[in-house]
Chains A and B, each alone.
Chain A
Amino acid sequence: MEGEEIIKLEDLKAYLSREIETLRVKKQKLEHFASIVKEIDEKEGVFLKSLLKLEGLNEKMLLCFDGSEAYKGLQAIKQDIEKVKFEYRQKESHLQGEVAKLAFNDEALDRYREDLRSFLYAKTKFVDDLTRRQREVFDEAMSKARDELAIVHRLIDALAKKIEGASKESELKEFLTLSQKRIEEIKIELPLRVEDLEKAYERTVESFKGLYERARSEVLSLKEELRRFAVESRLIEEDEVIALEAIYEITYEMKTKDLEFNVASELLKKKMLGVSDEEAQNILLSLSKKGFLALKLIVD
Chain B
Amino acid sequence: MMEREFLKLDLTPIEKRILSILKEYGGKAREDDVNKLFISAVFQGHPLTLDTYLDTLVERRELERDRKGGYLRMIDLKELDDRLKELRKEVNDYKKRYARFLYGYLASIKRRDVNVVILKDCIEEVASMVDDLDRDRLILGYGERRVRRQILLELLVYQLKEIIDLTEEFYRRFSQRIEEIKGEVRMVRESLRKCEESVNNLRLVDRTLRIKERRLMEEKEKTIKELEDKTYSREEAVECSLSLREHVKSFDDLCERARECLIFDIKMIQMMREYEDLENIAENIKTSLDDVQGLMEDLAELRDSLEKHEILCLKRENKLSSLIQDWIRRYVKGP
Question: Which positions in A face B, CB cutoff 8 Å?
Answer: 1-10, 12-13, 15-17, 19-20, 23-24, 26-27, 30, 33-34, 36-38, 40-41, 44-45, 48, 91-92, 95-96, 99, 102-104, 109, 112, 116, 120
Pairwise interchain contact A9-B208, C-beta atoms closer than 8 A: no
> Are the C-beta atoms of B208 and A4 separated by less than 8 Å?
yes
Shortest distance in angstroms between B159's beta carbon and chain A's nearest beta carbon? 52
Question: When chains A and B are docked, how far (Å) is the Cα of A26 from the Cα of B331?
Answer: 12
| A37 in contact with B324 given A19-B204, A23-B303 (CB within 8 Å) | yes
A10 to B284, CA, bound (A): 11
Instruction: Give the complex CA separation of A271 and B83 in angstroms.
Output: 153
Known: A2-B206, A9-B288, A13-B292. A37 touches B302 (CB 8 A): no
CB-defined contacts of B327 to chain A, threshold 8 Å: 99, 102, 104
Report the nearest A residue to B288, measured CB to CB: A9
Contacting pair B305 A9 (CB below 8 A) = no
Chain B residues within CB distance 8 Å of chain A: 199-200, 203-213, 215, 285, 288-289, 291-292, 295-296, 298-299, 302-303, 305-306, 309-312, 316, 318-321, 323-328, 330-332
* CB-based contact B324/A116 at 8 Å: yes
B249 nearest CB across to chain A (Å): 33
**Is the pair A41, B323 in contact by a Cβ cutoff of 8 Å?**
no
Q: Which residue of A lies closest to B216 (CB)?
A: A8
Find out whether the CB atom of B324 lies under 8 angstroms from the CB atom of A16.
Answer: no
A20 engages B295 (CB within 8 Å): yes
A109/B299 contact (C-beta < 8 A), A5-B205, A9-B213, A13-B291 known: no
Chain A residues with Cβ below 8 Å from B288 are 9-10, 13
Residues of A within 8 A of B331 (CB): 103-104
A27 and B302 within 8 A (CB) = yes
Whether B323 contacts A95 by the Cβ 8 Å rule is yes
How far, in whole Å, are A16 and B293 apart by their CA atoms in the complex? 10
Q: Is the CB of B292 within 8 A of A23?
A: no
Chain A contacts for B309, CB-based, 8 A: 27, 30, 34
A12 near B211 (CB under 8 angstroms)?
A: yes
> With a CB–CB cut-off of 8 A, which chain A residues contact B291?
9, 13
Bound: A104/B320 CA distance, A: 16
The CA-CA distance from A38 to B111 in the complex, in Å, is 84
Known: A3-B208, A9-B212, A45-B318. A20 touches B324 (CB 8 A): no
> Quick one: which of A20, A24, A37 contacts B325, CB cutoff 8 A?
A37
> Is there an interface contact between B207 and A41, defined as CB atoms closer than 8 Å?
no
User: If the complex has contacts A13-B288, A30-B311, are A5 and B208 also in contact, measured as CB distance less than 8 A?
Assistant: yes
Say whether A8 contacts B212, CB under 8 Å. Answer: yes
> Which of B209, B324, B326 interacts with A7 by CB under 8 Å?
B209
Give the residues in chain A near B209, CB-CB below 8 Å.
4-7, 12
Q: Is the beta-carbon distance between A20 and B299 smaller than 8 angstroms?
A: yes
Alpha-carbon distance A30/B210, docked complex (angstroms): 33
Which of B289, B295, B303 has the most chain A CB within a 10 Å cutoff? B295
In the assembled complex, the Cα of A9 lies from the Cα of B285 at a distance in Å of 8
Give bound CA distance, A116 to B322, whole Å.
Answer: 12
Q: Which A residues lie within 8 Å of B295 (CB)?
A: 13, 16-17, 20
Give the chain A neighbours of B292 by CB distance below 8 A: 9, 12-13, 16
Q: For residue A19, which residue of chain B has the nearest CB?
A: B299
Instruction: Please indicate which of the listed interface residues B213, B299, B318 has the most CB atoms of chain A within 10 Å of its own CB.
Output: B318
**Do the beta carbons of A15 and B316 come within 8 Å of each other?**
no
Which residues from A are CB-within-8-Å of B306?
Answer: 23, 26-27, 30
Question: Which 10 A-B pairs have CB atoms at the shortest separation, nearest pair first?
Answer: A104-B331, A41-B321, A9-B288, A16-B295, A99-B327, A44-B318, A23-B302, A40-B321, A5-B207, A8-B212
5 contacts between A and B (CB under 8 A): A6-B212, A7-B209, A16-B296, A19-B299, A116-B320
Closest beta carbon of chain B to A250's beta carbon, Å: 52
Minimum distance in angstroms from A4 CB to a CB of chain B? 5
Most central of B211, B215, B302, B321 by chain A CB within 10 Å: B321
A6 to B207, CA, bound (A): 10
Q: How far is the CB of A50 from chain B (nearest CB, A)?
A: 13
A235 to B187, CA, bound (A): 110
Q: Which residue of A lies closest to B215 (CB)?
A: A6
Given known contacts A23-B302, A37-B324, A92 and B213 CB-to-CB distance under 8 angstroms: no
Task: Please name the residue on chain A nearest to B289 by beta carbon.
Answer: A9
Asked if A12 and B311 sit within 8 Å, CB to CB, the answer is no
CA distance A6 to B210 in the complex (A): 5
Q: Which residues of B contact A4 (CB under 8 A)?
A: 207-210
> A107 → chain B, closest Cβ, in Å?
13
Q: What's the Cα separation between A16 and B199 when bound, in Å?
A: 10
Residues of A within 8 A of B318 (CB): 41, 44-45, 48
Complex-state Cα separation, A79 to B172, whole angstroms: 99
Q: How far is the CA of A28 from the CA of B319 in the complex (A)?
A: 25
A112 to B332, CA, bound (A): 18
* Pair B302/A40 contact, Cβ less than 8 Å: no
Please state if B302 and A24 are interface contacts (CB–CB under 8 Å). yes
A34:B208 contact, CB within 8 angstroms: no
Docked-complex contact B298 and A33, CB < 8 angstroms: no
When C-beta atoms are compared, the residue in chain A nearest to B291 turns out to be: A13
Residues of B within 8 A of A20 (CB): 295, 298-299, 302
The distance in angstroms between the C-alpha atoms of A13 and B299, with both chains bound, is: 11
